[in-house]
Amino acid sequence: MNRMRLDGRVAVIVGGAGHIGSAIADALAEMGATVAIADREAAGAARVASSVSETRQRLSSWHEIDLEGELSATALRDAVLREHGRIDILVHAAALVGSSELPGWTTPFEEQSLQTWRRGLEINLTSVFSLSQAFAPSLREHRSGAIVTIGSIYGELGVDLRMYESTGMGSPAAYAASKGGVVQLTRWLATVLAPDIRANTVSPGGVMRGQPEAFISQYTSRVPLGRLASEDDITGAVAFLVSDAASYITGQNLLVDGGWTSW
């Protein structure tokens, strides 16, 4: 039996219209899962669901979600259960990231706004709590539930602002704080939800997004493998952690960073 197969399982991908989320959805569908794509961009979620259905010949659905809405987690759970009858996997890949164009976000620290800080924590961290809480009974039902959250190297280490010199880019305090919170919350979930649900984090390093050449050069000079990550690098880690091949792994933070944190 192939322990990487997900036949008969339903995976919910929150942030599934984004670069990483859509790649994860495609990978899990290739492994045999039914996928439910949830995103605040309804049109994007619909496109990903349609693409997955056509490419992988797997049942999929799409759902609009407001991660700042108090009832969004339970509404999403109920919609997926109506559509597919069960939930086995929750992947939380939604976040306000360093490139998000919000006032007071990627500005110098003294100019970062409290309002945007609160939005960052609400979307990046609080929604992990609310979704995990709402989905836990369904994930527990078949005694093989899996939660995977997407962290960041900046949830483990302080920011090196030298990477951003002459790039026009920045690093929000709320991003680092929220991702550190995601890692610790996931560890907490791993102990509280065991033995029926496993919970792990995948923490990427920098992912290639057409960044300025100055950033790519400065960043890769610190990476032992000499490049930024691709979506495939992230999806492979997620696919492993939600599968039975990782059935004895929980509470871990898998750093997919090309060796950045090894120096």
Q: What is the pLDDT of residues 148-195, one digit of tens each?
A: 999 999 999 999 888 888 888 888 999 999 999 999 999 999 999 999
Predicted confidence band of residue 70 (pLDDT cuts 50, 70, 90): confident
From 164, 175, 219, 248, active-site residue: 175
Residue 86 token pair: 């069960």
| 248 a catalytic residue | no
pLDDT at 99: 66
Total residues found in the chain within this entry: 263
List the beta bridge partners of residue 14: 38, 92
Predicted confidence band of residue 101 (pLDDT cuts 50, 70, 90): confident
* Residue 12 backbone phi and psi in degrees, to 5: -100, 125
pLDDT in tens, 104-156: 888 889 999 999 999 999 999 999 999 999 999 999 999 899 999 999 999 99
Angle 122-37-180 from CA coordinates, rounded to 5°: 35
pLDDT at 97: 85
Question: Cα separation of 94 and 44, whole Å?
Answer: 13
Question: Cα separation of 179 and 42, whole Å?
Answer: 25
CATH classification code of 10-254: 3.40.50.720
Q: Is the four-CA dihedral 25, 186, 234, 64 of positive or negative sign?
A: positive
Going by C-beta distance under 8 Å and a sequence separation of 6 or more, which residues neighbour residue 88? 6, 9, 10, 11, 33, 139, 142, 144, 145, 146
Q: Is the four-CA dihedral 235, 241, 242, 244 of positive or negative sign?
A: positive
Residue 97 token pair: 């990231």
| Torsion (CA) 206, 210, 211, 217 in degrees, nearest 10 | 80
